[in-house]
Amino acid sequence: MIELNELTDAAQKAFPADALSPGRDESWRLVAEMGWLMVRLPEEDGGLGLDREASAAIHFEMGRVLATTPLIPAQLGLQAVLASEIAARVEWLERLAGGEYAPLHLLPAKLEAAPNGTLSGVVGGVFDADMAMAVVAKLPSGYALVPTDAPGVSIVERAIWDPSRRLFDIVLDGYAPDPALMLTDADGAAALHDALAPEAHLAVAADCLGAANAALELTIEYMKMRRQFDRPIAMFQALKHRAADMKARIAVAEALLWNRVRDDAATLVQCGAAKTLAAEAFAFVTEEAIQLHGGIGLTEEHPIHRFMKRAMLNLQLCGSPDLWNERTGREALG
Amino acid sequence: MTDTPDLEALRREVRAFLAAEAPTGWRDASRTQDDFVRTQRDWFTRLVSAGYAIPHWPAAFPGGGRSLAEQKVIYEELAKADCPRLLLSFVSTYHAFATLHECATREQQDRYLPRILEGETWCQGFSEPGAGSDLAAIKTRAERKGDVYVVNGQKVWSTMAQFADKCLLLVRTSSDGPKQAGITYLLMDMKAPGVSVRPIHQIQGDEEFAEIFLDNVEIPVSERVGEEGKGWAVAQATLASERGLTLMELSYRMRGALARVASLIREHGHEDDRGVLRDFGELVTQVDAVCAVADQFLDNRIKGIERIGDASIIKNSYSRALRAYAKLGLRLGGIAEQYVAPITFGDLNTGNWMADFMNSYAWTIAGGSEEVQRNIIAERMLDMPREPKAWVA
Ligand SMILES: Cc1cc2nc3c(=O)[nH]c(=O)nc-3n(C[C@H](O)[C@H](O)[C@H](O)COP(=O)(O)OP(=O)(O)OC[C@H]3O[C@@H](n4cnc5c(N)ncnc54)[C@H](O)[C@@H]3O)c2cc1C
């Protein structure tokens, strides 16, 4: 059994804190070499068979360096195939564990079926579709692997503010789903969604909090170094108190994240709530961070804006805070 | 999380006890100070004999030595059964216990700890009119005369001092050197000649704390904790217990009390009001996170890990959640909450929303204010520089 701190140490060595957003393709190779693509693949299927805590720890470290490599959608794609009973399951799992990429899309699909069963429309929220051989997409007839080179499938990059990631739409135009690649039927789609969604929430939450910690560290460092009125600005209590609140927001969201990561009985809504708290904390920290940097915070050259942009995107992944707060409220109402 | 069989058994045991003995109608029986004190003493005695009053004490005491998971089960069940919070014995079972356990002599421990379980109550005499956040500025003087200290001065904001038998007293024995160096820690008998107590009326109509006047009070030297001039370090043990340990119980109580907000939502027909549901959901997550951070703190403490500032984070998070809780109730309750309704002495989550709102300030001010906790987080955790000390008026 790999110890959690070994995993974290290895991650910090491979992705040192001073190299933000290292190149995607090199990162992907590194990630594959370290076996992180098969962290959640059971040992009997040839994977590392690690639990949620291990994958969350990795996503946390990936957030810390604003990683460009799409580990979260890759993990979810693999878990979708893992849960399926397609004939080529074993081959697919081998390929995905070995470094090929079939991400789950993280934003809704808007598709229409023609009378002949072909599909047209958009599958949204596919990270790094340019390197994907297939996408795990929710079609009207269930979840399916959609090969990116199939007839009627094209990928369209959507420019996003977050410079650490690349987001694509998969555009279907009369695409005929391959029955051999259907991971679920229409009924099974809801069950798969409910199984994957908690994983997605916890992974994004970990990404948020790793990055929030790094943004806070950068900010504190800057405040100690920057002098105005003949003293470091870190000495001004008005600013210290804001830094203290940033720290507290992160610490509390982290406690809830690890609590839910370790709790196998945590419900989907509880995981959504943990993600919401983490993403809100990340957004709060980066919003403050820019202000505390002054003018330099608005420059392209200083990295702090990149944290803010990742935070704003993360807020919208897996459903908005409004949605999950409402669902949390409804569930607590009983 | 699901319980292990052992925890499940404990939960059943606590529930059975509560089903038989949990006080009902105690809110109505806590409308006056006297009734409140009677209810409190009675419930404390019953909890002690059942073994649930001091789960955080060591195993040598009946009802002590509970694991973190067991403590959680007990607090959860007490909160669910809506039992009175033990305010009268709060300082005894947390502050006095932690101070005696960590810093007192064996003899002092043997004398006082068992008496706490018999109902002896303590108060904390730290703050003074001129020494609040700047606690080290205390002026209450103790002069050594043979084998007694003769003490003169005034303490203020001392919770439940009007009912206390004993007092954790911080005094000045020297004015030389740094402020902290001249402080000594004494255990004072509240019935000693020269001690007088005056309750303070609070904005919500409660009288939770009191002033203590000390006029030539004699305290035996044997009642000193730690050495003369070393009281500041002992005081830190007292304060640490307040910031960390107590908040686990209070967090679980607040979680239990979320049901009050839920009933308010139903009462006012807001079940499908998405704005209200969002605000409620946000509060639920905030409270869950405070519980998680308190759990983590205790878990670490049991493993021997305690970082400076952790308790400050919990305290600020708890107190902000408590304020948010009260404000949501106040908002949903509307004008009805502006009519004076009877308060429940000593409780933080009573459903009298205006009173709860006012009471929530106790936690942003007492035990080191929110601002002081922020200083600690910034300076001690984030290593940000302190302000220059010198100041000339
Ligand atoms: C409900 C309750 C129960 C209490 N129980 C007890 C008890 O049992 N025993 C006991 O000894 N004491 C008790 N206290 C006293 C409590 O510890 C003090 O009220 C507290 O430490 C604040 O001191 P103060 O009231 O003098 O406020 P001040 O110190 O005068 O503070 C006034 C304001 O200034 C801010 N401030 C002060 N210094 C700084 C700084 N360095 N940086 C930034 N802001 C600052 C404070 O945060 C606050 O907002 C209790 C208080 C309350 C409210």
Which pLDDT score, from 0 to 100, does residue B244 have? 62
Distance of CA B336 to the CA centre of its chain: 30
**CA dist A305 → A287, A289, B287, B300 (Å):** 9, 9, 31, 35
Q: What is the Å distance from ligand 1's center to B319 Cα?
A: 14
Distance of CA B18 to the CA centre of its chain: 23
Report the top-level CATH class of A4-97.
mainly alpha
User: Alpha-carbon distance A251 to B294, whole Å?
Assistant: 11
Q: Which residues of A touch B382 (CB under 8 A)?
A: 216, 220, 240, 243-244, 247
DSSP A182: B
User: Alpha-carbon distance B112 to B95, whole Å?
Assistant: 13
User: Alpha-carbon distance B18 to B50, whole Å?
Assistant: 10
Rg (chain A; Cα; Å): 21
Look at B281 and A325 and tell me if their CB atoms are within 8 Å: yes
| Nearest residue, CB atoms, B377 vs list A235, A244, A256 | A244
> Quick one: B216 exposed, middle or buried, by C-beta within 10 A (0-12, 13-18, 19+)?
exposed
Determine contact, residues A124/A109, Cβ cutoff 8 Å: yes
User: Alpha-carbon distance A163 to A21, whole Å?
Assistant: 9
Which pLDDT score, from 0 to 100, does residue B247 have? 86
Domain positions in chain A: 4-97, 109-186, 188-333
Look at B384 and A322 and tell me if their CB atoms are within 8 Å: no
Question: What stretches in chain B show pLDDT beneath 70?
Answer: 1-2, 243-245
Look at B288 and A237 and tell me if their CB atoms are within 8 Å: no
Which pLDDT score, from 0 to 100, does residue B60 have? 95
Indicate left, alpha or beta for A3 from its phi (over 0: left) and psi (-120 to 50: alpha): beta
Beta-bridged to residue B217, according to DSSP, are B151
CB B375 less than 6 A from any atom of ligand 1? yes
Instruction: Find, in chain B, the residue whose alpha carbon is nearest to that of A334.
Output: B262
Determine contact, residues A78/A40, Cβ cutoff 8 Å: yes
Q: What are phi and psi of B106, to 5 degrees?
A: -55, -40
Q: Following DSSP, what letter does each residue of A272-288 receive, concatenated?
A: HHHHHHHHHHHHHHHHH
CB B157 less than 6 A from any atom of ligand 1? yes
pTM of the model: 0.93
Give the ipTM.
0.92
Q: Which fold has domain B120-231?
A: Butyryl-CoA Dehydrogenase, subunit A; domain 2 (2.40.110)
Tokens, residue A244? 């203290």
Pick the atom of ligand 1 nearest to B375's CA.
42
Q: Which residues of B are catalytic?
A: 242
Q: Say how many CA atoms lie within 13 Å of A155 toward its Cβ.
A: 22
Is B272 an interface residue toward A (CB < 8 Å)? no
Q: Which residues of A touch B313 (CB under 8 A)?
A: 247-248, 251-252
The greatest distance separating any two alpha carbons of chain B, rounded to the nearest whole angstrom, comes to 73
DSSP A114: -
Mean pLDDT by 10 residues, chain A (334 residues): 82 95 97 95 94 96 98 98 96 96 96 96 97 97 97 98 98 97 96 96 98 98 97 97 98 98 96 98 98 97 97 96 98 94
> Quick one: B353 exposed, middle or buried, by C-beta within 10 A (0-12, 13-18, 19+)?
buried
When scoring B270, B315, B316, B382 by the number of chain A Cβ atoms within 10 A, the one with the most, hence best to mutate, is B382
| Nearest residue, CB atoms, A329 vs list B278, B383, B388 | B278
Report the top-level CATH class of B245-381.
mainly alpha
Report the top-level CATH class of A109-186.
mainly beta
**CA dist A59 → A56, A63, A68, A319 (Å):** 5, 6, 12, 19
Determine contact, residues A278/A318, Cβ cutoff 8 Å: no
Which residues fall within 8 angstroms of residue A196, CB to CB, at 6 or more apart?
Answer: A76, A79, A80, A104
Q: B 301-360 residues with CB below 8 A of A?
A: 310, 313, 316-317
CA nearest to B235, candidates B174, B177, B187: B187
CATH superfamily of domain region A188-333: Butyryl-CoA Dehydrogenase, subunit A, domain 3 (1.20.140.10)
CA nearest to B256, candidates B357, B352, B349: B349
End-to-end CA, chain A: 40
Tokens, residue A87? 């004939």
